[in-house]
Structure 1
Amino acid sequence: MSAQKPAPPPARMPLALLPGLLLDRRLWRHQEAALADLAETWVADFDGLDSVEAMAERVLAAMPERFALCGLSMGGYVALSVARLAPGRVERLCLMDTRAAPDSPEVTARRRGLLELAQKGQFKGVTPKLLPLLVHPDRLEDAALTGDLMAQAERIGRDGFTRQQTAIMNRPDARPWLAGIRCPTLVMVGRQDALTPLENATELAAGIPDSRLVVVEDCGHLPPLERPEETSRQLRQWLLR
């Protein structure tokens, strides 16, 4: 009697991870490791692109026919555009610390001010101005975290920052197509997010039929870096749902 063959390991789900403004693959390093048994991750690089739709097209070109999709902040704007362009391809969606609505005039003015600073040759001054908006106040003295963020911004560079801000400022209003998103959707937000606060996440969750809202406590705009274990735990539950 021949020995029974062991069952093949379950296939890992393709998972696209989309970083935010001035962030790169390092944003997702904990999640890539923690979810390796469940997901075959691909982290987007938006170098050279200056529109959210072009970024979405790059994601679609890189991914297989069906995949899971998670975007933070600017990556969330791109993820919403992917869901609009190819709803049948997105198996499940995670929108993290992002919003569906366009920027307010005040936010647009702040973006333009940062662009002017960068264009005057003071790009290295941009990230320190953003740091109080990016992380929980208690983490501003965390040299490892702030140094990591500064290094990511430096890798994106002034020209990349300009293209990303241009894409963000010209992005479409995603609210009209939220109701058409039919895949299981996780909406996550840091409780103390100063850039895309809780009301933005609440609007997303209210507009998407099959959605679940998770608020990460003691956390600002960057849960993958500020609360990596909790972020990975929530993404694991989302992938297994």
Structure 2
Amino acid sequence: MKARHDTLVLVPGLNNTRAVFDGVVAALPAGVTARALDNPALDSVEAIARAHLAALPERFWLAGFSFGGYVALAMLELAPERVLGIALLCTAPYADRPEAAQKRLAALDAVAQGRYFEMIAQQAANAFHPDSLGNAALMAARQAMVLDYGPQRYAAHVRATAARPDRSALLDGSRATLVLAASHDRLFAPAMLADCAAAIPGAVLAVVQDAGHLAPMEQPQAVASHLLRWMGAAEQGGADTPMTRS
């Protein structure tokens, strides 16, 4: 596919660097210019959004994964005229409930005690499909990414997550919208994201099979395929099917 506007911006999640998208970027054709970003250690999604917008082209497609979805929505709010379409990958536009925000902030105690890497290692079972846990190369890639990301960014991004507002009103159907779920995601269950997509006019729901929350690492070709379909349907002025699976 060679789109008239061919820049795809990819925003990573919590405990992720741009490396979370390595497989996705490799699966995209040469006609798409992929810009996988690193989120700076700033403690509001709005500040991170402003930093990204200052370095990006005039118009682009925007895909946010998990925490990156919160950043992407802040970017959309700040510069709606620049965003051709938005894809929410294993994420949703809602704010935390007060109790959830407090639970997130409580996790910062582990960071203060120097237990960040231990805590993240223990979360692997919740982050991946069960079959992925035995994939040594995948686990090594995740470990290297977490080491690069580090506790300073984690602490800042947890604070940013807890403080984010509800931005669901931004998803009004005025631009192509993809909501992508993973079949075994324990953090953003497919049923919850199906409800989210149903509330967005014209949104497409895609479900990636055999993946947990870290679908971009586990099933990068499937994620890339859905992103291409989303971009292509919008460029052609058409609509995708209400739900696709891979």
CA distance in 1, matches of 2:176, 2:200: 9
Return the offset for 1:112. Answer: 2.9
> Is 1:187 aligned to residue 179 of structure 2?
yes
> Is 1:219 aligned to residue 242 of structure 2?
no
Return the offset for 1:200. Answer: 3.3
CA distance in 2, matches of 1:109, 1:217: 32
Which of residues 52, 60, 74 is equivalent to 1:59? 52
Deviations 1:198-224 (A, max 9, x none): 233223312322310001112111111
The percentage of counterpart residues that share the same residue type is: 35
Which of residues 22, 44, 47 is equivalent to 2:40? 47
CA distance in 2, matches of 1:101, 1:11: 32
Are 2:105 and 2:159, in contact at CA under 8 Å, matched by a contact in 1? no
| TM-score normalised by L of structure 1 | 0.89
Deviations 1:119-141 (A, max 9, x none): 10111112122212211122222
- How do 1:100-179 and structure 2 match up within 5 A? 100-105=93-98, 107-179=100-172
> Is 1:228 aligned to residue 220 of structure 2?
yes
Q: CA RMSD in A?
A: 1.9
CA distance in 2, matches of 1:11, 1:128: 42
Return the offset for 1:157. Answer: 0.9
Return the offset for 1:239. Answer: 2.2
Deviations 1:80-122 (A, max 9, x none): 1222222221111111000122224554354234311111011
Match in the other structure for 1:239 = 231
Match in the other structure for 1:5 = none
Return the offset for 1:10. Answer: 6.7
Are 1:16 and 1:59, in contact at CA under 8 Å, matched by a contact in 2? no
| TM-score normalised by L of structure 2 | 0.87
Unaligned 5+ segments in structure 1 are 1-8
Count of residue pairs brought into register by the alignment: 232
Which of residues 191, 209, 212 is equivalent to 2:201? 209
Over 3 Å counting, the alpha-carbon distance change for 1:203 and 1:79 in structure 2 is farther
CA distance in 1, matches of 2:167, 2:137: 35
Match in the other structure for 2:240 = none
Tell me, what secondary structure is at the counterpart of 1:138?
A: helix
Are 1:71 and 1:78, in contact at CA under 8 Å, matched by a contact in 2? yes
**Whose Rg is larger?**
1
Are 2:182 and 2:211, in contact at CA under 8 Å, matched by a contact in 1? yes
Unaligned 5+ segments in structure 2 are 234-246
Over 3 Å counting, the alpha-carbon distance change for 1:72 and 1:118 in structure 2 is same
Letter of the structure 1 residue corresponding to residue 209 of structure 2? E
Over 3 Å counting, the alpha-carbon distance change for 1:107 and 1:139 in structure 2 is farther
When structure 1 is superposed on structure 2, of 39-48 and 149-158 the one drifting more is 39-48
Letter of the structure 1 residue corresponding to residue 161 of structure 2? I
CA distance in 1, matches of 2:54, 2:31: 22
